Amino acid sequence: MQAVASFKRWLFRLYGPEAAPIVLNQRRVYVLPTRAGLVYAAALGLMLIGAINYNLSLGYALIFLLTGLGLVALLHTFRNLVQMEISPGRVESVFAGDMAHFDLQLLNRRKQGRFAISFKLEGGRAVSTDLSADATTTIGLPLPTRRRGWLHPGRVTLETRYPLCLVRAWSYVEPDMRCLVYPRPEASAPPLPLSATGESGGARSGKGTEDFSGLRTHQPADSPRHVAWKAVAREQPLLTKQFTGASAVQVWLDWNELPPDLDIEARLSRLTRWLIDAHAQGLAYGLSLPGRKVPLGQGARQFQDCLEALALHGG
């Protein structure tokens, strides 16, 4: 079994994540006839036998013409992939259960376009695209997520049957990319335990809910109640209202304060929900996990640090 795996790694160049850019040279593109191609070859063979039996000169000419057509199709299918350059693109973090999208940047240095090229991750949906001559294109490959932590997409299968579907050319690449998957927020979590784990501070700085203090750029986790809808109506960018008040609440999201009957993933799911709620309400919050503690803070950087700590807990 180990010998078979080693042979596959050697044959298909499966050496793990590759440095960018990945260039598909001639040795990396494989070509085989499709089922339609095999039927096409069988039909030519039968036609050749008939032409030999009846000594049909026009039959020979037609067979040679169709054979040449098949060989030209094979060449075009091969050239549709060879010398294409692939680089990893941007990958957005997602919550467990959502669809992750891995962007790939495709560079075509040829003076001719490339057509009907399919890209597919194992376990994902195939995405087809065309590449214009001497141009760069970006595509996103979807992959479902099932658990939190780092998600490595593995190898990408490229395939094309252009132009006549008589031949299949394919190759494998494995760009060096990954996606951080956050725990799935609990759907029906209890409200934030302010009375149990929060404390009221006397500072008037920070985000409260009493006096309007200004506008800032909208963030996906912001509450819709704080969106400046009047500004939106005036066709301005999406903005969020900020408030100040005397009751800037500080919330500690503490692992040890959760019910003891919750398992690890249920605890992380509840803490994720509370984290999203605290950030949306503009509270100052901190996170306490076994082996890691994120100090009190606010803002997008604090939100990302806490989500990352939850996603990588125990990893």
Residues 209/243, Cβ–Cβ less than 8 Å: yes
Q: Tell me how far CA of residue 185 lies from CA of 189, 204, 226, in angstroms.
A: 8, 31, 22
Full pLDDT tens readout for the chain, 315 residues: 666 666 666 666 666 788 889 999 999 999 999 999 999 999 999 999 999 999 889 999 999 999 999 999 999 999 999 999 999 999 999 999 999 999 999 999 999 999 999 999 999 999 999 999 999 999 999 999 999 999 999 999 999 999 999 999 999 999 999 999 999 999 988 888 763 344 433 333 344 445 566 666 766 555 666 677 666 666 667 777 665 543 456 889 999 999 999 999 999 999 999 999 999 988 899 999 999 999 989 899 999 999 999 999 987
Q: What is the pLDDT of residue 102?
A: 97
Q: pTM of the entire structure?
A: 0.77
Distance between first and last Cα of the chain:
30
Kindly state the helix (H) or strand (E) to which residue 268 belongs, with its residue range.
Answer: helix 264-280
Q: CA 138, CA 86: separation in Å to the nearest integer?
A: 10
Q: What is the pLDDT of residue 208?
A: 45
> Taking the CB of residue 61, how many other CB atoms lie within 10 A of it?
11
Every domain range in the chain assigned CATH 2.60.40.10:
2-182
Class for domain 2-182, per CATH? mainly beta
Q: What is the pLDDT of residue 222?
A: 59
Q: Tell me how far CA of residue 62 lies from CA of 34, 81, 129, in angstroms.
A: 22, 30, 34
Q: What is the pLDDT of residue 246?
A: 38
Q: Can you say whether the dihedral through the CA atoms of 38, 40, 46, 51 is positive or negative?
A: negative
Residues 275/310, Cβ–Cβ less than 8 Å: yes
